[in-house]
Structure 1
Amino acid sequence: MSKFNDFLEMKVMPFAGRLAAQRHLVALRDGIILTMPLIIVGSLFLILGNLPIPGYADFMANIFGESWNTKLQYPVNVTFDVMAIFACFGIAYRLAQAYESDGVDPLSSGAIALAAFLLATPFSPFEVEGAAANFVPVSLLGSGGLFVGMLVAMLATEVYRFIVKRNIVIRMPDGVPPAVSRSFIALIPGFAVIILVWLIRLAVEATPFGDIHNLISTVIGSPLTLVGTSLIGSIIAELMVVLLWVCGLHGANIVGGIMSPIWLKATAENATAFAAGQELPHIFTAQFFEVFINVGGSGATLGLVLMMVWRAKLQQNKQLSKLATGPALFNINEPIIFGLPIVLNPLMIIPFVTIPILMVITTYVGMSLGLVAKPAGIVVPWTMPPIISGYLATGGKLSGAVMQLINLAMAMAIYYPFFRILEKNQQKEEEARQRELAATKTDE
């Protein structure tokens, strides 16, 4: 076991630490988080439009008219359907913050990236009362444009930094207000970004792909989505989450920075289908992992905490279980991960890694067979307690809550024998310490 610990500390942790600190992954993760409050707000209206209560639809129609559901979709349209806009701005802003020491202004970088994203998005012509006009397809501003928004945000910020570092900027005198000065510094970088994206768009339009969105979707988006929404890909993603955690790193944040765009896209597509009363296309969404796999946090540690409350014999473990129960109910598991500990603990690593993988498989089987409702695209806050979150995330289906209970029971059963061995080892260590202390007092 000591060799295993040495391997984790000397080989795995340094690499995982560098990965966690990689500025583009951090910007990707933090930028997408900007969309979360909006998507949760949109989900609330999605729930209101589809409450599973007999007579609810007729009641609402009598009060607000037959178009009541369409009106409830308005907030959904300005949250889910434009998530790529906010993600693009947020990613560019966060990446620019990492380059502030080079003179990159985050606000200017976000604005330039947003303009470049809209430039990369094809407008569709239409007529209004005989007058020609254009509109941006909403499908390309939401989940369908997420990959383009991510790439454009990082490209725009990197070009901005490249130009500013070489001092190819317009600098105003010292007496000019800082906001005005920053806007002039961003002038040449902004011009360069717009020209570059414009040329890329013209070049892509000369190919069979037609536009940048179609190119990215075909070359990058489709393969990544196929992997991220498959059973094998999801098992690998969850495995990476728990392996990073056992090294003391926040695996959910690191892996989420890479996988969130894929799972958010699947979430938005499920939400669209759910609102239209159609078959849900995806099982693996962000809520699949947050709600059904990470019950109590990564590693499904709520099962461990509840089992400790019930079966712990040592006073230190009883006290730890009481302290960890409250946070675990709201999916916060740092107290148990670092307090037991699970980090760098070879014995507890085994169930911590095994349980989430088994839960991915069992939940997938239940949903694919139709025994459990799929995530409906409703984004519940990640701190929502289990059972409630399973019911809401599936659009008010009891099978979602039942699946969480089954996963929780499975986690408790698997954690139990490993925890019993851990307590026996702790008891032996405590007895050895007591004997050493008694021997020391006798010598004195």
Structure 2
Amino acid sequence: MNKFEEIVQTKLVPIAGRFGNNKFLIAIRDGVTYSMPLILIGSLLMIIASFPIPGWENWLGEIGISAYLWKGVDSSFNLIALIAAFAIPYSLVKQYKQDGISAGIINISAFLMVTPFAIPFLDESGKSIGTVGGIAPSYLSSGGLFVAIVLGLINGHVYQWFMKKDIRIKMPDGVPPAVSKSFSAIIPGAVILIFWLVVYGMLDYFKLPNVHDIVKTVLGVPFSMIGGTLLGNFIVVLLNGLLWFCGIHGGNVLNNPIMKPIWLTNLTENTAAHQAGQNLPHVFTSVFMDNFVFIGGSGATIGLVIALAWIARRKKASQQSKVLSPLTLFPGLFNINEPTMFGLPVVLNVLTVIPFVIAPAVNLVVAYLAFASGIVPGTYADPGWTMPPIISGFLATGSWQASILQLVLIVIDILIYLPFIFNVERKWLESEKNRK
């Protein structure tokens, strides 16, 4: 065991640490996270607009409120790409101690520069009969997210390079900082925007696919094959557990920067399908992973904290379990498991690594079968990752079946963790006995 821990500490932890400290991954993680308030607000409006009570939506339409609620959804939830276009270069440039706001503003312009300003106009049969001015909403939401990421990383890096090389317009010392920063951004901004304008013009002139279509084909299709399949997500869940075991935040290293854009794209497409009254196309969304796979947090540790709480109620329970139980149970019900990860601990604990990896993997398979078979409808709203289970399932899908599924998954997680927690408890009792 000591040899294994030594290998983990000396070989795996440094590699995972360098991966987790990568500036580009941090920028993607932070950039997508900045859009979460709008996603949650939009989801709340969506839940109100389509609350699963017979006649509710018709009543909202009759009193003239329904259209305004969906307008709120479109103006919040469906702006993921636009927010990311600002936030990703902002985060990246800030890591280089430069002006992130100017970098974000420039990238919004670059994002719009490569985005077509025409929407197909369809007849009643769905056939295109021309175009009308404007930006297709899909470019601002999930359809443009990969372009926002690619341009954000490229343009953010180019911007900080100009600043690092001091290629900018300098103003006298007495000029207000805001004005000075604005002038400093002119040269890198002009280079970046003219470059992307030329790219858009060349593609348009030769009737080639636009940047959105190219990026979606080159990056979107391969990543979607990972994030949209059971096997791909199964591998992600296993890697997430192993990273956490090594003491590396699996969500920050793997889920948030790499998988979250894919899962959010699937969620927004489900939202659009729900609004249109169509079948939801995706099982794997950010909401599905947060509320049906990682219940209680990474490792599905709600099963661990409930099992620990049950053990702690016994008369002969160890003092350690009695102390840790209230500290881990209440946060765990709200999917906050840092007290468990570092208090039990789970990190670098070979006694809990097996259920920590297996429990969310089992949840993934069971939940997938329930959703794919139609027993539970798909997720289309985000109740927030801190929403307690049972409630979150109902809000995310509008169905009581999802709440029942969460209850079943929690029972499975408890059964998976219980024998291992008994072993941990036995070690604690032996340790306390030896100290007497």
What is the CA–CA distance in structure 1 between the aligned matches of 2:200 and 2:161, rounded to whole Å?
21
What is the CA–CA distance in structure 1 between the aligned matches of 2:35 and 2:284, rounded to whole Å?
19
Q: Does the aligned pair in 1 maintain the 2:49–2:60 contact within 8 Å?
A: no
2:204 matched to which residue of 1? 205
Q: TM-score, normalised by structure 2?
A: 0.93
Report the CA distance shift for 1:148/1:174 in structure 2 as closer, same or farther (over 3 A): same
Find the structure with the greater CA-based Rg: 1
Q: Does the aligned pair in 2 maintain the 1:209–1:215 contact within 8 Å?
A: no
Q: Does the aligned pair in 1 maintain the 2:291–2:389 contact within 8 Å?
A: yes
Q: Does the aligned pair in 1 maintain the 2:320–2:428 contact within 8 Å?
A: no
- CA shift for structure 1 position 209: 4.1
In structure 2, give the amino acid aligned to 1:378: A
1:98 and 2:129 aligned: no
Aligned with 2:415 (options 413, 416, 441): 413
1:112 matched to which residue of 2? 106
Report the CA distance shift for 1:405/1:227 in structure 2 as closer, same or farther (over 3 A): same
1:439 matched to which residue of 2? none
Extract unaligned runs of 5+ from structure 1.
435-444
Counterparts of residues 22-421 of structure 1 (less than 5 Å): 22-64=22-64, 68-100=65-97, 104-124=98-118, 134-205=133-204, 209-255=208-254, 256-312=256-312, 313-375=317-379, 377-394=380-397, 396-421=398-423
What is the CA–CA distance in structure 2 between the aligned matches of 1:300 and 1:133, rounded to whole Å?
48
What is the CA–CA distance in structure 1 between the aligned matches of 2:408 and 2:102, rounded to whole Å?
49
Q: Does the aligned pair in 1 maintain the 2:376–2:402 contact within 8 Å?
A: yes
- CA shift for structure 1 position 398: 0.7
Q: Does the aligned pair in 2 maintain the 1:126–1:135 contact within 8 Å?
A: no
Extract unaligned runs of 5+ from structure 2.
122-130
Report the CA distance shift for 1:205/1:159 in structure 2 as closer, same or farther (over 3 A): same
What is the CA–CA distance in structure 1 between the aligned matches of 2:218 and 2:333, rounded to whole Å?
41
1:429 matched to which residue of 2? 431
Post-superposition Cα deviations, 1:249-298, rounded to whole Å, max 9, x if no partner, equal 22112211111111110000000111111100000000011111111111
In structure 2, give the amino acid aligned to 1:121: T
Q: TM-score, normalised by structure 1?
A: 0.91
Report the CA distance shift for 1:295/1:189 in structure 2 as closer, same or farther (over 3 A): same
SS at match of 2:428: helix
SS at match of 1:346: coil
In structure 2, give the amino acid aligned to 1:245: W
What is the CA–CA distance in structure 2 between the aligned matches of 1:192 and 1:261, rounded to whole Å?
28
Question: How many residues align structurally?
Answer: 422
Post-superposition Cα deviations, 1:337-375, rounded to whole Å, max 9, x if no partner, equal 111111111111110011111111111011111112221
What is the CA–CA distance in structure 1 between the aligned matches of 2:33 and 2:336, rounded to whole Å?
18
What is the CA–CA distance in structure 2 between the aligned matches of 1:223 and 1:152, rounded to whole Å?
19
Report the CA distance shift for 1:342/1:207 in structure 2 as closer, same or farther (over 3 A): farther
